[in-house]
């Protein structure tokens, strides 16, 4: 079974496009993409790696384009409207009667999740390369359901030492993995990323 194109409403009449894979386990995930102003969208290779990993487990996945990207209407809103987009995607997935829904974000997508995770009740959160050297994460309130944070040893936007300090603030029990040799884009390292994700999904 493959993904199907879907559309759902965000705030202020904005319509978002997404790709939905309906699994069989009763678990689902909303996946958020990199920065729209730098060409990030739901077709990003890391987003697809996260999606494929959850799909291998038989889980339901929803990746979508933030407002202003692809066929999603509206325009970039400096991370504010994008938080509403995550809520809208989460609520869309809730209509599938899943028993558990995760949030998984890559780069800018993980920053958006960190800003609004207290607005919804999610079962677990996964962050891939939260861009701590590019965007303001502090103050960093606790994220009790943060399960995993992954970055690369050569990631200049998500330096391992800075990210690790934040992880301890968010949730000291969170799994933290650094992929040796990987930069922010994980070129040549998506298989290793998938292996790590499989252990935590």
Residue extents of the structural domains in the chain: 4-198
Neighbours of 95 (CB within 10 A): 8
Q: In the prediction, which pLDDT does 140 show?
A: 84
Q: What is the pLDDT of residues 15-72, one digit of tens each?
A: 999 999 999 999 999 999 999 999 999 999 999 999 999 999 999 999 999 999 999 9
Q: What is the pLDDT of residues 3-15, one digit of tens each?
A: 999 999 999 999 9
- Nearest 5°: the CA angle 196, 55, 170 is 45
Q: What is the pLDDT of residues 91-140, one digit of tens each?
A: 999 999 999 999 999 999 999 999 999 889 899 999 999 999 999 998 88
Q: What is the pLDDT of residues 166-175, one digit of tens each?
A: 999 999 999 9
Collapsing DSSP states into helix, strand and coil, what is residue 36? Answer: helix
Q: In the prediction, which pLDDT does 1 show?
A: 64
Helix (H), strand (E) at residue 47: helix 45-56
Collapsing DSSP states into helix, strand and coil, what is residue 28? Answer: strand
- Please give the Cα distance from 166 to 142 (Å, whole number): 10
Q: In the prediction, which pLDDT does 9 show?
A: 98
Q: Under CATH, which number does the domain 4-198 receive?
A: 3.40.50.1820
Q: In the prediction, which pLDDT does 153 show?
A: 98
Q: In the prediction, which pLDDT does 50 show?
A: 98
Torsion angle in degrees (nearest 10) through CA of 5, 149, 76, 85: 50
DSSP secondary structure letter of residue 65: P
Averaged pLDDT, 146-174: 97
CA distances from 100 to 10, 53, 94, 97, 117 (A): 21, 17, 9, 9, 15
Cα 49 from chain centre: 11
Tokens of 141: 């309130």
What does the DSSP assignment read for 110-173?
Answer: HHHHHHHGGGS--SEEEEES--TTTS---S----TTEEEEEEETT-SSS-HHHHHHHHHHH-TT
Bridge-based pairing of strands 60-64 and 15-21 is: antiparallel
Q: Which of 129, 99, 123 is nearest to 32 (CA)?
A: 129
């Amino acid at each position: 079974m493959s993904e199907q194109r879907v559309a759902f409403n965000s705030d202020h009449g904005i319509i978002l496009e997404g790709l939905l894979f309906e699994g069989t386990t009763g678990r689902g995930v909303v996946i958020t993409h990199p920065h729209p102003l730098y060409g990030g969208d739901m077709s990003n290779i890391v987003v697809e790696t996260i999606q494929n990993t959850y799909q291998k487990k038989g889980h339901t996945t929803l990746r979508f384009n933030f407002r202003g990207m692809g066929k999603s209407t509206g325009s970039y809103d400096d991370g504010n409207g994008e938080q509403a987009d995550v809520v809208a995607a989460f609520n869309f997935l809730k209509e599938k009667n899943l028993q558990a829904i995760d949030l998984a974000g890559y780069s800018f997508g993980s920053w958006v999740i960190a800003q609004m995770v207290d607005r919804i009740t999610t079962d677990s959160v996964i962050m891939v390369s939260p861009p701590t050297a590019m965007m303001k994460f502090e103050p960093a309130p606790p994220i009790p359901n943060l399960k995993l944070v992954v970055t690369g040893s050569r990631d200049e936007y998500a330096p391992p030492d800075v990210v690790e300090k934040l992880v301890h603030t968010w949730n000291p029990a969170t799994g933290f993995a650094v992929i040796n040799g990987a930069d922010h884009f994980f070129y040549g390292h998506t298989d290793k990323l998938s292996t790590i994700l499989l252990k935590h999904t």
